Structure formats: structure tokens, C-alpha cells
Amino acid sequence: MIVNEMKLSKRLQTVAEHIPKGAVMADIGSDHAYLPCYCVLNDLASAAIAGEITDGPFLSAKQQVEKLNLSSLISVRKGDGLEVIQKGEVNAITIAGMGGSLIAHILESGKGKLTGKERLILQPNIHARHIREWLYKEGYALIKEDILEEDGKCYEVLVAETGDKDAAYKDISFRAGVLVGPFLAKEKTDVFVKKWSQELEHLKKIYQQIKVAAPSIENQQKLNELSERIEILKEVLERG
């Protein structure tokens, strides 16, 4: 085994922990290819594809892979989202460090490349609910979720495979589960409570600001949406 000179961030380390042993993985939006390099060097993955859409990160990824003499095991490819893979070529896909709506868009745009046998390991920086909605719509089951704090920011990691998409939501309302994460709501770690308590206070402030603004149909719609989300968060945080 090659001694790994690289140390991943806590966020990417958590993503790496969910790679099935010996998988062929694709890391979409790979930046410097740190994650696939780490996974191959540490025998978590047997081979990898690092996908990047822009020139700078693509060249950085190529240089990193060449520097570590991993070109025979890691293919660095330029392209948009899942277009860098062939159908059935990989059995694990990681997408990390983007907004939840962008990750959902990448999955939707590239779903023709998915066989349904891949494990999806997804780490949104914000708005994880968009990913949960997409997974449910496409028949993927959430099998694990993590929440962690690093450098003052909270991150969620979602792990999904095709399966019983309702199983994760059986002890929580679907709307609450999609918003905060069905596994995370049950585990209710300190990081989870901190994240959603702060979000609850933030939503309450926005609600009050809109409430004193000039009445309009649009504002009433926003108030209704905020009110529903506030009630969901109160219920989740007050659960024993």
C-alpha cells in the first residue's frame, strides 16, 4: 500500500467513508481530484474517474493524478456532469461541495447514464432537500446520512441506492424528512440541533420582516411557505 501524503478535509473524509470497498468511482466536479486520489491510494476504490467542466480544475486534477503516479488508475475527464462516464462504467458516484439544487440538476441531466446499481454519495453545501426530492422521485432509497461541522459551516452527506424509497421516512412526515433528513432527525446530534435552531431563528426574522411589508399575493404566499417551514422545524426540534 502506498503511504498517502494527502489529508482530506473532514467533509471529504466523510464522503470517502461511504465508498463501497473496491468500487470503481466517479467524482463529479472533482476540482484537484483529491477525493479520488485519496480513495485509490487507501484501497477504498480500485479505480476512479475525475470529472471537471472547467479548464483550471481539470488541469489541476490531471497534475495531481500524474504527480501521484495514478494515471493508470484514475482517468481525468473534461465534461459536464455525468457525461464524463459511460453507462455501467462505475458503481459509485460522488458529487460534493455544490448547492443541492445544482447536484439535483446534474443527476437529472445525466440520469440516462445511471443503471440504478450505483451508490450515490452526495454532499451539498446548502439545500439538501432538493436532492432528497430528486432521489425519492427517481426511486432511490436514502440508506445513510451524516451531518458535520467544519470551519464553522454545517455539511450534510446523503448516501442512496435504488430500493425502498419510503423506508427512511416511515417514522417522520415526508415534508419534515425531506427538509431536515429522516436519519438526521432521528439521530438529532448537537450539530443538527445547532444548524436547524439557527435556521429556525432566521426564518422567524424573515417572517416578521415580510409581515410588516406591504400586503401582496406574493408576500402572502411567502408567509404561508415560511409558516409551514417554521412549524416543521419546531416539531422536529421539540421531538424527544
What pLDDT digit, counting tens, does each position of 159-176 carry? 999 999 999 999 999 999
- Percent of the chain whose predicted confidence (pLDDT) is above 90: 96
Residue 151 sits in the same domain as residue 38 = yes
Q: pTM for the whole thing?
A: 0.94
Q: How many domains does the chain have?
A: 2
Beta bridge partners of 51: 28, 77
> Which of 183, 213, 229 is the endpoint of a domain?
183
Residue 178 sits in the same domain as residue 203 = no
Gap between the Cα atoms of 72 and 66, Å rounded:
9
Is the pLDDT confidence value at 2 over 50?
no
3 within some domain: no
207 within some domain: yes
Gap between the Cα atoms of 57 and 60, Å rounded:
5
The number of helix segments (H) and strand segments (E) in the chain equals 9, 7
Q: Which domain holds residue 163?
A: 10-183
Residue 166 sits in the same domain as residue 54 = yes
Residue 163 sits in the same domain as residue 53 = yes
Give the model confidence (pLDDT) of 34-70 as tens digits.
999 999 999 999 999 999 999 999 999 999 999 999 9
User: Are 36 and 103 contacting, i.e. CB atoms less than 8 angstroms apart?
Assistant: no
Q: Kindly report the CATH number assigned to the domain that includes residue 33.
A: 3.40.50.150
168 within some domain: yes
Residue 45 sits in the same domain as residue 77 = yes
